[in-house]
Structure formats: C-alpha cells, structure tokens
Structure 1
C-alpha cells in the first residue's frame, strides 16, 4: 500500500495552510500573544465557514462529510500556526451544540481537570465534579486555563488524536525554524548548521517529527485506541523536545518575546497536559498491548 495523502487531501491541507497564512500570520500570532485571553470571533467564524468544525459532520446534516484522516491534516496545520482557541472541543461539538459547526458558538470542555478559554466560551461541556473553577496563570499566553476540582471526564479518543495532530504541526514548525536559523545564522565565518552539535539537534528534530507523523496518520486510518495512544505519546515528545531543541539552536534570542520559538514550547507543554497523554497514555497503551 502506498501510504500517502491523496491529491484531495493534499489540496485540503494546502488550503488550510493558505487560509491560516492569510488570517493568522506571524504578526497576528504575536499580536494575539500580546492580548492574552481574547479570542478572535471573526476568525472563528471564518474557520467555521471554511468547514473546519463541520469537517466530519455528514453532508445531510450540513457538514463537509469527510473523515478523521482529513481532520488530522487540518489540525496539524492549526498546530503549525499555533492557532489559539478550544479547537478540539468545538470540532467535536459540531452537530450536537447549535452553532458549533459554523463557528458562531465557541465550545470548550473540561479535560483532565482543566478547561481552556472558559471566559470566552459560549458553552462548557463538563461531566461530574464541581461547578466551581479556579483561574490559573497559564504558561502559554494563548491558552487561558481554569482548573475544575473533582472532575472525571474520560479522554475521548478522537480528542486525543486531534491533540496529537496539533502537537505534530507544532513539532514540524519547530523543525522548520531550527533548520532555517541554522542555515542563516553565522558564527566564525560560517553558518552554525555546519557545526556537528547543531547538525545533531536538527537531525533529531526531523527524526522525531517523521516518526510522530507516521504514527498519527496511521492512527487516523485505523482509529485503534492503542494506535492513538502511541501516536499521542510520540507527538507530545516530538513537540516538547523539538521545541526545546529549536530553542537550543536559536540560543538566547529564542527566549525573546519577539521570537516564535518560546511560544511553540509553551503551547506544546500546555497541550501535553490534556487528557490521553503522559502516564494515562502509557497505561492505556500497556494495557492494550498486554491484553
């Protein structure tokens, strides 16, 4: 089998990248980071109009009628652009919560005891626990967080996989930025990419991205819980370690507010706390493999 996206899937991915490059470029990213906690409703509705949230909703219900593979491709692009907002929750609510499919309604959900974008959301999905919330100081300026005590909401496998797709996109962007900087930044009269230590960092970035991409795409095809757990673990590692290595390649300038690199790392850290990752994913995978 030739395990490659079809021409239609490539066109879908290219279209999403073009939309985000036009509506949420690097300048817009920095502007959003400078005003944390505010969601761009116009962009949210534009995403809805492009079918982002209704992608898997059947056509007879007003959706696009595509599948999980296509959803993974567009969420990968969202992760690459560091697109803010409760994307996964709103996508999963399409067809259930009125207005979620068109982007008119912003939906968030309690996940692993945390809820993202609570104050900007129109609908909050919660199962069990307390209605009280505790505001947290989020590491990522583009992901405001609240803690909901006592909640117990099992991780939805689709949500786990879409988070993995976002992490994959972030990891790929970190790899792009590291290679670009290694080619253009010069020390001792030559690009820093000529030095072995930097070469090894960039090579490690690429390996982790491609391994995670193969796992995420395969899990989107099989929809198997064990495959999804493995994909999430690999994608989390690729995003977090990849952003850390990208920061190393950039040196001190990677920590500056004007740089995109620290935002990649912060978003990867916050996403990794969502349900289905970390110890939960390891335990699920171990149970599936030993069953």
Structure 2
C-alpha cells in the first residue's frame, strides 16, 4: 500500500489549510472562546462553498466527487486548527439533509449519549428528547447528554480519528518549535535529553497514527477504522499532555492554544462511541477472522 499523496491530494490539503488560516486563525480562535456556544454561520457557509461538507457527494448530486482519503485530509486540517462546530455530523448529512452540503444547514447528531452543538443545529439526527446541557471541558464544544445510544457510523469514527491526528500533529509542531527557541542555562531546552525523548515519542505516536488513519481511509475496513481511532486518540491526548510538559506553566495559560488541544482531544474520545467501544469492535473483528 502506498501512502504517498497525489498532487491533487496535496493541493486539496493545502487549499483547506489556506482557507482555515485565513478564516480561523489565532484572532478568530480567541474570538470564538470569548463567545462560547456561538457558531460562525458565515464561516460554515464558506466551508460549504469550498466543498468541505460535499467532498464525498457525487458530482451528479452537486458534490465534489472525491473519496474517504480526501475527506480524511480535510478533517485532519480542521483538527489541526481547532475548528469548532459539528463538522462530522454535517459532512455525513450531505446529500440527505437539504442545505448540509452547502453549509446553509448545521446538522448535529446523537451519538454515545452526547450531542455536540445541539442549540446551534438546524437539524438533529437521532432522538435528542430529554437532552440535558453539560458543562463541557472544551469551551469550543458545547455538549448535551441524551438518554439511550445510537449505532455509530464507521465513517464518523474515522473522521474523528482524522481530527485527532490533526491535533496530535499540531501539538508535536508546537513542542518542537518551543524546544528550539526556549533557552535554559544558555542553550535551547531541546538540547536536554528529557525534552528530546518527549518530542521523539510524540512524533512516533503521531506518525504511527497517521499511517493507521490513512490506511483505514483506503480500506474502509471496520477493524482498520477502530484501530486507527485508538491510535489517533492516544496520539492526540498524550501528545497534548507531553507538549504541555515541554512548555511548562505557559502551556496552561488562556493566551496559548495548547490547553485547548488537550481539552478538544478529551471531548473527541467520547464522540462516535468511545475507546472501549472501539476496543470491543476491534476485538470482535479479530476474533471472527479464521486462524
């Protein structure tokens, strides 16, 4: 299996990164934190116009006509920039919910007893009766708890893993940048063995998760998807924690984005099922294979 991206895939990833850098950079991130629970509808429509939600929708239905690998690349960039909103739910609704593909309709979905962005959604997929607001650890992800459970779409699991991969990548970048520029005892802290080990372990976890997520995007096999999800969750959560260790107390300040990556990673671990569900599903798939 080849993991080298095509020129078109590289261009797609670059285009999404450029769009998000322009429309959801550090200034917009701070503004979103100052107004928790408010979804930027203009940005949502711009994402729709760019084809973010319609990437897998056939061209005959007004979509972009690409596949799961391209969607994974787009969601990886969204995770890297901490883009808020029910991205996965709206993407999965393209083609079935009017306006979802173009970003005119915001779609939320019930899953694992939780609903993200319920109050901002125009359409809710699943039964949200009896929803109770929760105090979310992530200020950019309002949550409601609902009774009961809903079957999880494997694509939702994979796209969540892609977002986790993007967060892990960003945490690794931030750690390396700080290790190169922050000095202690007359030299960059990256020269110290403990910091070197932290950064190396972050990179290994991130690249292992990347290989798993990209492979699952190609095979679309449920076992591959659940394995990718477990690796991506670990890379995102442990990566953010290790990056905080590299930054020390600075990493916990509201002025810095790092603590938001850790909080978003925690929330994502409960979306589209959780780690335990993925572990059980992966175990069932492996046990069902002939020896």
| Pairwise TM-score range, normalised by the shorter structure | over 0.9
Q: Normalised by the size of structure 1, how large is the TM-score?
A: 0.98
1:244 pairs with 241, 245, 264, which one? Answer: 241
CA distance in 2, matches of 1:178, 1:117: 30
Partner of 1:114: 114
SS at match of 1:210: helix
CA distance in 2, matches of 1:22, 1:261: 20
Partner of 2:253: 256
Partner of 2:4: 4
Count of matched residue pairs = 288
Partner of 2:160: 163
8 Å CA contact 1:160–1:277 kept in 2: the answer is no
CA distance in 2, matches of 1:27, 1:250: 21
Which 5+ residue runs of structure 2 have no aligned equivalent? none
CA distance in 1, matches of 2:234, 2:82: 17
Matches within 5 A, 1:11-22: 11-22=11-22
8 Å CA contact 2:37–2:142 kept in 1: the answer is yes
8 Å CA contact 1:181–1:250 kept in 2: the answer is yes
Which 5+ residue runs of structure 1 have no aligned equivalent? none
User: Does 1:277 find its partner at 2:282?
Assistant: no
SS at match of 1:152: coil
Q: C-alpha deviations, 1:36-58, integer Å up to 9, x for none?
A: 10000000000000000011000
Partner of 2:180: 183
CA distance in 1, matches of 2:10, 2:71: 12
Partner of 2:143: 145
Q: Could you list the runs of 4 or more consecutive aligned residues of structure 1 that deviate by over 2 angstroms after TM superposition?
A: none
8 Å CA contact 1:229–1:277 kept in 2: the answer is no
Q: Normalised by the size of structure 2, how large is the TM-score?
A: 0.98
SS at match of 2:202: helix
CA RMSD of aligned residues (A): 0.8
